[in-house]
Chain A
């Protein structure tokens, strides 16, 4: 889950009618439900906004929705997947023809549709797991990255019927790979944590790579936790298939031309520290942890990055479509070109 800062100061209903509805808080409380991913929580939060809004016309309603979406995006570090959900819902509201007796009926209908969609979307992970199952052979060695709910579901489902073993990358700095490790070993699946830097070392032992996604973009490429692009490049070099699992509400209209074209890329990332005089400052003393054995000798400290250093690093990266073999989604198993055709068809009209 992206780190959230719940700021009460973000007034959601910034339109003139004063509503005691704070969209950010609704969103955060919705996210507490483990099953809901960011885009779904956004859709539900927006439907709640419709419920409590007193907009009288479609135009006002759409404006209120856009304001709410804007507030949500501003409240989190990584708004990409959340954005996908917002755009999908707003597109649904504006583009599809609705016929209702009156405007308030229309609003109720929209809310109902939103909730129905979210409920149905919870079954998407199962659909994807079943779909991917056909590609997992008995005795497969799988490499995965960081923690993803849909990948977990798929692996656990596969474990019911076949023998699999899993390598999972540590996924620094958040270390979510360790969470995957814990859950897999608890289920009895043989699992080993692999250093992020050891992916090419392990690649030749792997049958295929399976990753989740934050968003799938219009080019057919993938946005996922940082490190996915590296794994994809290594997989292609080693001729190992790279599969991405993505629910259809994660399909996004974004089209990044490069890593630095992502909305999450700020000027802070990968910047060189400069003192006000323009000289390079000496590096802040790296956090040093003395292990128990090394108290006597001064060599061999395990060094860790400081939080400031970590802040100079990206949280997500973009994987190009030509590196991805297949995208498994609730609408079927698609090639990256197929994904882009689907997204174009969904949004271009």
Chain B
């Protein structure tokens, strides 16, 4: 689903859509009969706006900066935009998009060529937050942008950012007359949530948190004066963040810290906020161990963790995922984080975690997953591709070492090449030794009994 000038088909992507659009795009570029704004219908106006935005992007893209252009055109996930259509859109002048920053249009220049994605097409491509329906709060717009550009990444960070943004939304909300807060606020929040989801698919953490929030809203007392009700909701949000994320992380830090002994070699993958906290906490407690940070492209999140750990003088080794086989025999424990935890004990985490866990299992190294209980999803997940997310290609992420110029390094714009970057993968419960949560150390087979044990009806 790219956001190019797909005129009528703004609906979910399908193979047929993809095949149609090149022609429709070509049509659009040829029929450039100017109409006044009033005469055009809303759809046509929108279509023109999109075209103009695409044109402006193309002109900016073919600007002086070679790096910038490859960056912009690199957004084409579905094979290279045929050169013809790019030049066609350059011919049109265009007034700039109203109020939407440039960066969004990167994705729009990606033209859907005849081929779509072979696999993973069922969850489509990342796209920028499109024209928003209804009025979206500026905080949410900003958040959507930050999500789509991966400025805020990581399950915990996204959830906290979402909830904080919703606090602002709630405070700015005014109940219209003849309506109650508990009912109308929910309808008010829906488009905001949709906007965020369109920026980037919702994480399990965000989903759980929003579900709790909706529950609180619908349960709020009708007789409360509006400001009090809003304050109460914000207080509940704060409690949720504090109880189920911040304090849970502290408990996990203590519990997992007991599993770290002097002289251990701890291996971790990419960057988990919880694991970082555990390692830092254990070092502060006086335990002396060393860390192996395994990282992988394209996100290279491990670099951030590495900088934090080395700043504390923790002896670290940094390597990329393919070389994990050479160090695994030296490792005493593997500590990883999770995006979500499923009822069958499977762990959904950054792509590559499954490899690390399975390798560790082969070598009888215990694999410990650090995960708060609010990350539990009641679903069962059996493989990595029924539900996953693709990373947008291009230079959004930390740069890789530049041996050659960026142009040659970016592999897009080739007709027979697709770049696929799934963000998550599934670690089967058989590869996991233990899951450390704030309620204790649990074997993966018992995950499903946690909510019952805690007396919770929801997660």
Contact = CB atoms under 8 A, between A and B. Distances in A.
Interface of A: 218-220, 253, 255, 257-258, 261, 321, 337, 340-341, 344-345, 347-349
Contacts of A261: 259, 366
B453 A340 contact: no
Interface in B432-447: 433-434, 439-443, 445-446
Contacts of A257: 259, 333, 366, 368, 433-434
Contacts of A253: 440
A114 B245 CA distance: 38
Contacts of B455: 349
A125 to B, nearest CB: 27
Given A219-B434, A257-B368, A348 B441 contact: no
A220 B445 contact: yes
Contacts of B446: 337, 340-341, 344
Contact of B452 (A218, A255, A321, A345): A345
B403 interface: no
B439 A348 contact: yes
The 3 A-B residue pairs with the shortest CB-CB distance, nearest first, are A257-B366, A255-B441, A337-B445
Contacts of A341: 445-446, 449
Contacts of B366: 257-258, 261
Measured as residues with beta carbon below 8 angstroms from the partner, the interface class of chain B is 20 to 34
A255 to B, nearest CB: 4
Nearest to B437: A348
B257 to A, nearest CB: 13
B433 A344 contact: no
Interface of B: 259, 333, 364, 366, 368, 433-434, 439-443, 445-446, 449-450, 452-455
A348 B368 CA distance: 18
Nearest to B433: A257
Contacts of B450: 344, 348
Contacts, number: 53
A75 to B, nearest CB: 23
A46 to B, nearest CB: 22
A348 B453 contact: yes
Contact of B449 (A220, A258, A321, A345): A345
Contact of B443 (A321, A345, A347): A321
Contacts of B434: 219, 255, 257
A219 B345 CA distance: 13
Contacts of B440: 218, 253, 344, 347-348
25 contacts: A218-B442, A219-B434, A220-B443, A253-B440, A255-B434, A255-B441, A255-B443, A257-B366, A257-B433, A258-B364, A261-B259, A321-B443, A337-B443, A337-B445, A340-B446, A344-B440, A344-B442, A344-B446, A344-B449, A344-B453, A345-B449, A345-B453, A348-B453, A348-B454, A349-B454
Nearest to A257: B366
Nearest to A347: B440
Nearest to A253: B440
Contacts of B259: 257, 261
Nearest to A343: B446
A92 B138 CA distance: 53
A341 B449 CA distance: 6
Contacts of B441: 218, 255
Nearest to B367: A257
Contacts of A349: 453-455
Most chain A Cβ neighbours within 10 Å, of B434, B442, B446, B453: B446
Contacts of B454: 348-349
Nearest to B263: A267
A101 B455 CA distance: 28
A146 to B, nearest CB: 25
A321 B442 CA distance: 13
Contacts of A337: 443, 445-446
A321 B449 CA distance: 18
B105 to A, nearest CB: 51
Nearest to A337: B445
Most chain A Cβ neighbours within 10 Å, of B259, B368, B434, B453: B453
B453 to A, nearest CB: 4
Nearest to B368: A257
A84 B76 CA distance: 60
A253 to B, nearest CB: 7
A258 B454 CA distance: 28
B49 to A, nearest CB: 55
Contacts of B442: 218, 340, 344, 348
A145 B236 CA distance: 56
Given A253-B440, A340-B445, 10 more contacts: A255-B434, A257-B333, A257-B433, A337-B443, A341-B445, A344-B446, A344-B449, A344-B453, A345-B449, A348-B454
Contacts of B449: 341, 344-345
A334 to B, nearest CB: 12
A337 B429 CA distance: 12
Contacts of A344: 440, 442, 446, 449-450, 453
A341 B447 CA distance: 8
A314 B319 CA distance: 36
A257 B266 CA distance: 14
B111 to A, nearest CB: 52
Contacts of B368: 257
B370 to A, nearest CB: 13
Contacts of B433: 219, 257
A218 B450 CA distance: 13
A218 B446 CA distance: 10
A321 B443 CA distance: 10
A257 B335 CA distance: 12
